[in-house]
């Protein structure tokens, strides 16, 4: 029997019921001693809350038509099923009574039915972008198809550098100035359009390639936000036009070998010297560090470790371009500064290259301290302003990779014949494709909704939620796309294997999934509960 047409009001009621259940579980979490004493519960709560937030953001999309409503219905049914899986066997931890799932049962049964899902296998749904953003999407999609994809496989297999032609072409499109205000040579007029345009462009570039497309505009986005939040007028006038024109490319140097997402534990030091500062210490996972001409570096300017993040400041560290396979630079300064970059080999996300950086008496002048003297001890906050935007952009990157994987799987399924029939006709294949389509479209709509919120000066928690949910989803989607290819999915002959290994990094960078859930999402949910 076909599933009934989605009643959006009923869907909203179910989401509200789920949110009430989560509020009760948050109270239970607090009563049991909080996050540190109940990390598993806090983690599961964070992901369940993120899934429900994604579903809620899609209610407006469901009103566009039948296809849209069906995709949202399938997504909400998946979200509620995931919630049930997290609770099963842990009911006492969640503080729920027997039979808690009964109000959701008929909805989930209807919209998880394979006979319903199989009808959506070839129904990815319209994005319903405004005309201006459709133009952005088509422009960057064409660039990704014509300029990025032809290089993607070679760069991945050879662990090569990003071709300069891609950097130059993206600059011609204005890709590096999307978030930079017009007053500084960029294309941003502020407001929602700035954030939505960035999300749309990022998705399309990531559809072309995560490693040599979508990630190129993430680093200038982070540096731009940090400068707009804390930079001096002179720093903004100096650096933002250079970022917008790609005269200067940047990299972000925050993570350290012993302190990953625990930014407050940073030990790289900046010590005052005549006319500036001397940097000493090690940074790791600094992506794009060789090609970049400036590093946005977080360092400890107050040796009192008890100050934690309040003792950190942000610096703009200029350097020459380096070789993609490692570099060493020396300064002609009294201290004889030295900077060494060692590349870190990775299974995917190639082209950008990540590095371990070692600073030994590396000099930076006073005017490269973000915010000047007023910026001392505020580097953590400036950096976080950039990272919050980086998280929603990372969600958009995940959507682009998922879309590429779905497109590849759908094409392969239509053409691959097994037992005398194209595998697109098998129920299991169709159910997988339908699940992918629902996840991708709802992840996209969630990302767009959060971008609009951020354009209004809100959405910080939602950006973290989007990053957590969408990046985990990308692992499943790319895995299933690879599986649909069968043995050929494991061969480098097909790009789907690259999508799979690229997707794996999404839940690690820009805030590791576990840290994001425990230190950001769960804490903010508890704070919000206290205010309600």
Give the per-residue SS3 of 199-222: HHHHHHHHHHCCCCCHHHHHHHHH
How far the first Cα of the chain sits from its last, in Å, is 43
Can you tell me whether residue 32 is helix, strand or coil?
Answer: coil
Least confident of 61-70, 162-171, 328-337, 481-490: 328-337
Residue 466 three-state SS: helix
- Grouping H, G, I as helix, E, B as strand and the rest as coil, residue 293 is coil
* Dihedral class, residue 459 (left if φ above 0, else alpha if ψ from -120 to 50, else beta): left
The superfamily (CATH) of domain 131-244 is Acyl-CoA dehydrogenase/oxidase, N-terminal domain (1.10.540.10)
Residue 149: is it exposed, middle or buried by C-beta count within 10 angstroms (0-12/13-18/19+)? middle
pLDDT single digits (tens) 494-510: 999 999 999 999 998 87
297, 268 in Cβ contact below 8 A? yes
Answer whether 285's CB lies under 8 Å from 509's CB.
yes
Question: Catalytic one among 221, 356, 475, 510?
Answer: 510
The position carrying tokens 């009808």 is 119
Architecture of the domain made up of 391-511: Up-down Bundle (1.20)
Q: Which of 530, 532, 529, 531 is nearest to 49 (CA)?
A: 529
The stretch 153-158 carries a mean pLDDT of 93
Ranges 24-28, 204-208, 509-513: which has the least confidence? 509-513
Question: Please, which pLDDT band fits residue 191 given cuts at 50, 70 and 90?
Answer: confident
Q: How confident is residue 259, by pLDDT bands cut at 50, 70 and 90? A: low
Which pairing describes strands 269-273 and 250-253: parallel, antiparallel, or unpaired? unpaired
Helix (H) or strand (E) holding 299: strand 294-300
pLDDT confidence tier of residue 468, bands split at 50, 70 and 90? very high
Taking the C-alpha atoms of residue 92 and residue 38, their distance in angstroms, rounded to an integer, is 13
With residue 192 as reference, give the H or E element that holds it: helix 192-208
DSSP state of 259: B
Q: Report residue 514 as tokens.
A: 């576990």
How far is it, in rounded angstroms, from Cα 168 to Cα 166? 5
d(CA 289, CA 255): 13
- Residue 510 annotated to the active site: yes
Tokens 């940090």, residue?
226
User: Global pTM?
Assistant: 0.93
Instruction: Give CA angle at 385 (379, 386), nearest 5°.
Output: 95
Average pLDDT over residues 155-183: 92
Q: Please say if the pLDDT value at position 40 is more than 70.
A: yes
Instruction: Give the pLDDT band of residue 5 (cuts 50, 70, 90).
Output: confident
Query: Would the CATH topology of 131-244 be identical to that of 391-511?
Result: no
Is the CB of residue 521 less than 8 Å from the CB of residue 467? no
Query: Residue ranges of the domains in the chain?
Result: 8-120, 131-244, 250-372, 391-511
Q: How far is CA 238 from the centre of its chain?
A: 28
Q: For residue 306, name the pLDDT band (cuts at 50, 70, 90).
A: confident
CATH code for the structural domain at 250-372:
2.40.110.10
| Residue 120: other Cβ atoms inside 10 A | 23
> Mean pLDDT over all residues of the chain?
92
Element (H, E) at 448: helix 427-455
Contact 292, 250 (CB under 8 A): yes
H or E, element range at 285: strand 276-287
Backbone angles phi and psi of 322, in degrees to 5: -115, 170
Axis crossing angle, helix 460-484 with helix 39-57, rounded to the nearest 10: 90
Instruction: Assess contact for 157 and 492: CB atoms under 8 A.
Output: yes
Closest CA to 75 of 490, 470, 500: 470
Nearest to 475 by CA among 449, 430, 513: 513
Pairing of strands 327-330, 250-253: unpaired
Residue 151, token pair as written in the block = 């290089």
Beta strands 269-273 and 338-344 are: unpaired
Averaged pLDDT, 395-421: 96
pLDDT at 372 exceeding the cut of 60 = yes
Element (H, E) at 390: helix 379-415
């Amino acid at each position: 029997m076909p599933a009934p047409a989605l009643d959006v009001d009923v869907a909203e009621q179910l989401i509200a019921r789920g949110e009430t259940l989560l509020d009760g579980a948050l109270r239970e979490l607090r009563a049991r001693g909080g996050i540190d004493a109940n990390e598993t519960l806090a983690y599961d709560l964070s992901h369940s809350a993120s899934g429900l937030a994604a579903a809620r953001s899609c209610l407006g999309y469901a009103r566009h038509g039948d296809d849209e409503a069906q995709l949202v219905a399938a997504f909400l049914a998946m979200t509620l099923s995931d919630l049930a899986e997290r609770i099963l066997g842990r009911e006492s931890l969640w503080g729920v009574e027997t039979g808690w799932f009964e109000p959701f049962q008929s909805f989930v049964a209807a919209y998880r039915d394979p006979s319903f899902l199989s009808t959506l296998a070839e129904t990815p749904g319209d994005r319903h972008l405004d005309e201006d953003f459709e133009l952005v999407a088509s422009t960057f999609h064409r660039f990704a198809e014509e300029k990025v994809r032809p290089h993607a496989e070679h760069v991945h297999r050879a662990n090569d550098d990003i071709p300069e032609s891609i950097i130059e072409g993206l600059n011609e499109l204005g890709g590096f100035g999307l978030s930079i205000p017009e007053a500084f040579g960029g294309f941003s007029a502020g407001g929602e359009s700035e954030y939505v345009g960035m999300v749309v462009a990022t998705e399309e570039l990531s559809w072309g390639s995560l490693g040599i497309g979508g990630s190129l505009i993430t680093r200038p986005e982070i540096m731009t936000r940090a400068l707009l939040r804390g930079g001096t007028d002179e720093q903004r006038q100096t650096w933002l036009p250079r970022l917008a024109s790609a005269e200067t490319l940047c990299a972000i140097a925050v993570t350290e070998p012993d302190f990953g997402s625990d930014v407050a534990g940073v030990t790289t030091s900046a010590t005052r010297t005549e006319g500036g500062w001397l940097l000493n210490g090690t940074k790791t996972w600094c992506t794009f560090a060789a090609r970049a001409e400036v590093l946005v570096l977080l360092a400890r300017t107050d040796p009192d470790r008890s100050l934690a993040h309040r003792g950190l400041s942000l610096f703009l560290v200029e350097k020459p371009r380096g070789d993609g396979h490692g570099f060493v630079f020396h300064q002609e300064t009294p201290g004889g500064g030295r900077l060494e970059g060692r590349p870190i080999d990775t299974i995917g996300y190639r082209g950008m290259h990540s590095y371990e950086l070692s600073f030994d008496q590396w000099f930076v002048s006073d005017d490269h301290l973000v915010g000047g003297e007023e910026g001392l001890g505020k580097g953590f906050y400036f950096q976080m302003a950039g990272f919050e935007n980086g998280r929603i952009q990372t969600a958009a990157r995940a959507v682009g990779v998922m879309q590429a994987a779905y497109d590849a799987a759908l094409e392969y399924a239509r053409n691959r014949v097994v037992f005398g029939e194209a595998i697109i006709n098998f129920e299991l294949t169709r159910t997988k494709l339908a699940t992918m389509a629902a996840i991708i479209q709802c992840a996209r709509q969630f990302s767009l909704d959060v971008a609009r919120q951020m354009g209004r000066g809100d959405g910080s928690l939602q950006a973290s939620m989007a990053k957590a949910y969408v990046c985990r989803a990308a692992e499943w989607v790319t895995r299933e796309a690879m599986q649909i290819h069968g043995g050929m999915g494991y061969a480098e002959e097909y790009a789907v294997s690259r999508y799979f290994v690229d997707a794996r990094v999404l839940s690690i960078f820009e805030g590791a999934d576990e840290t994001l859930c425990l230190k950001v999402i769960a804490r903010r949910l508890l704070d919000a509960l206290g205010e309600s």
